[in-house]
Amino acid sequence: MGGCFSKPKPVELKIEVVLPEKERGKEELSASGKGSPRAYQGNGTARHFHTEERLPAPHPYPGAQDCVEAAICHVKDLENGQMREVELGWGKVLLVKDNGEFHALGHKCPHYGAPLVKGVLSRGRVRCPWHGACFNIGTGDLEDFPGLDSLHKFQVKIEKEKVYVRASKQALQLQRRTKVMAKCISPSAGHSSSTNVLIVGAGAAGLVCAETLRQEGFSDRIVLCTLDRHLPYDRPKLSKSLDAQPEQLALRPKEFFRAYGIEVLTEAQVVTVDVRNKKVVFKDGFKLEYSKLLLAPGSSPKMLSCKGKEVENVFTIRTPEDANRVVRLARGRNAVVVGAGFLGMEVAAYLTEKAHSVSVVELEETPFRRFLGERVGRALMKMFENNRVKFYMQTEVSELRAQEGKLKEVVLKSSKVVRADVCVVGIGAVPATGFLRQSSINLDSRGFIPVNKMMQTNVPGVFAAGDAVTFPLAWRNNRKVNIPHWQMAHAQGRVAAQNMLAQEAEISTVPYLWTAMFGRSLRYAGYGEGFDDVIIQGDLEELKFVAFYTKTGDMSWLTGKGS
């Protein structure tokens, strides 16, 4: 990413890419976490985690016998600003030369394993080529999301013009480093009806908030709660890999939560929040007091409101169970997807290899038209048609017909009747904030929670992050926007945690979204709310292109391939 955009008129906005393959005051919580923790059992289930145990964090330079050291190149082999993947012992490292200095780091992105050598080195950071995570080359630390872990940083020395790297074998094998975290030292964690930090929502924003608190040294009680029956998992994979089992999707193993004393209450729905008494009430009547609250409830999918909406085998995709059931029902049968947005199109692409037929129903003329424009939408539509997907455009569902209670046909407003054994509805989502309506936490007219740059709501001590918020976007003149992306939820969760600790952090990340269909990935950076023009470079037919979406405004912006 970088450079200047040469179009004469000022442009605001940004762009995208398809590539093959792939205030609060100082009375905030202190890092040591002073509070008055009391006991809690969620759902009647005791959740007391012993926190003495910690996951083994491999030291980068343990005993000599555990290390490997070798000369890997001559100092002149790399130019400044160059990166190279080099073999070291049984593994590989990413060697970086920047400002005359060499750095050796883990070579794979801890998010999904992208080869970082194909990424971009800029301003002391390497940016992952797949989904844009950023790592500091001086420390290996993750500085921008997505993902949770950092890179190992290995020792480098120069002797007689040769570059030597020394690394622990374990670190070379693991290729990821979990930052050092505090333990929970609260004596009554898991037993009382109050917690220092309560996080409503164990998705991306909630988990990153909890981890950041521990990384920053916070050692008091943290409780995360979720509607799900699972520990936090990789939600974006649900629509790209519908067969994946919950354990394959887990973002952290259960030992992790034990080791760091992060309590997760599963199937625990918060129904009311009483900000005066700093207390939430769960559906089963349980009450939990908090000192600081993060609201990260995400969104709820919209459902069809047509005749027959209650028939069996009609799904939205929110959980691994939804996704698994859709694939089971679609195998060798007829699948209909309603909505040609990212979720719907990902599901349609995945099902083409499993189902007898896949049909997509959409109100617009082309998929993604409003988001990516007519030309890009058409090119993507062609790719789907080449893969046997049948489109029913500019129409909508008028009825779902069943036989013995189970879906059999989808009737369209155009009078067309489409055979269907399973239907996936991907027509958008609304913020899951209904439980806040009676609280004095502000909601806007669409139900979003407005926050400031520090992720603070209107109520002191109550923060919010993720899909459920609108926040001021700096390069949009601080206009409040909602950006429901995985990466953004991570970044906001982190800022919320920092501000619970009075670190006065502000949200400043560039929004980033990716999708994957038929082995190709599409990556979108920035925030586009409409555009005046789309400039396409590369070969749209071949789906190897970069598209720039421009709009008259007060800012110039550019992204390029691999950024």
User: What mask of x and - would describe binding to ligand FAD in positions 207 to 226, judged by CB under 6 A?
Assistant: ------------------xx
69-128 residues near ligand FAD, rule: CB under 6 A: none
Segment lying near ligand FES (by CB under 6 A), choices 108-116, 342-350, 390-398, 418-426: 108-116
137-166 residues near ligand FES, rule: CB under 6 A: 146-147
3-state helix, strand, coil in the chain (%, to 5): 20, 35, 45
Q: Is 111 in the site for ligand FES (CB under 6 A)?
A: yes
Contact yes or no for 80/99 (Cβ under 8 A):
yes
- Indicate which single residue of 112, 371, 391, 475 sits in contact with ligand FES (rule: CB under 6 A): 112
**Sheet containing 406-412, strands listed edge to edge, beginning at the edge strand earlier in sequence:** 397-403, 406-412, 417-419
Q: How far is the CB of 487 from ligand FAD (least distance, A)?
A: 6
Q: Which of 143, 60, 67, 137 is nearest to 102 (CA)?
A: 137
Q: How far is the CB of 345 from ligand FAD (least distance, A)?
A: 11
Q: Which two tokens stand for residue 563?
A: 């950024």
Contact yes or no for 357/419 (Cβ under 8 A):
yes
Strand partners for 96? 83, 103
Q: How far is the CB of 460 from ligand FAD (least distance, A)?
A: 22
Is the CB of 420 or the CB of 517 nearer to ligand FAD? 517
When CB distances are held under 5 to 8 angstroms depending on the partner's kind, the choice from ligand FAD, ligand FES, none that residue 225 binds is ligand FAD
Q: How far is the CB of 273 from ligand FES (least distance, A)?
A: 34
Contact yes or no for 120/523 (Cβ under 8 A):
no
- Indicate which single residue of 16, 211, 228, 263 sits in contact with ligand FAD (rule: CB under 6 A): 228
Q: Which helix (H) or strand (E) holds 510?
A: none
Q: Is 133 in the site for ligand FES (CB under 6 A)?
A: yes
CB neighbour class for 405 (10 Å; exposed up to 12, middle 13-18, buried from 19): exposed
When CB distances are held under 5 to 8 angstroms depending on the partner's kind, the choice from ligand FAD, ligand FES, none that residue 216 binds is none
Following DSSP, what letter does each residue of 323-342 receive, concatenated?
HHHHHHHHBTSEEEEE--SH
Is the CB of 111 or the CB of 551 nearer to ligand FES? 111
Rounded Cα gap, residues 326 and 329, in angstroms: 5
Q: How far is the CB of 228 from ligand FAD (least distance, A)?
A: 5
Task: Give the end-to-end CA distance of the chain in Å, rounded to a whole number.
Answer: 5
CB neighbour class for 484 (10 Å; exposed up to 12, middle 13-18, buried from 19): middle
When CB distances are held under 5 to 8 angstroms depending on the partner's kind, the choice from ligand FES, ligand FAD, none that residue 343 binds is ligand FAD
When CB distances are held under 5 to 8 angstroms depending on the partner's kind, the choice from ligand FAD, ligand FES, none that residue 111 binds is ligand FES
Is the CB of 407 or the CB of 488 nearer to ligand FES? 488
When CB distances are held under 5 to 8 angstroms depending on the partner's kind, the choice from ligand FES, ligand FAD, none that residue 47 binds is none
Segment lying near ligand FAD (by CB under 6 A), choices 232-240, 250-258, 362-370, 496-504: 232-240
User: How far does CA 146 lie from the centroid of its chain?
Assistant: 6
Q: Give the footprint of ligand FES on this chain (CB under 6 A).
A: 109, 111-112, 114, 128, 130-133, 146-147
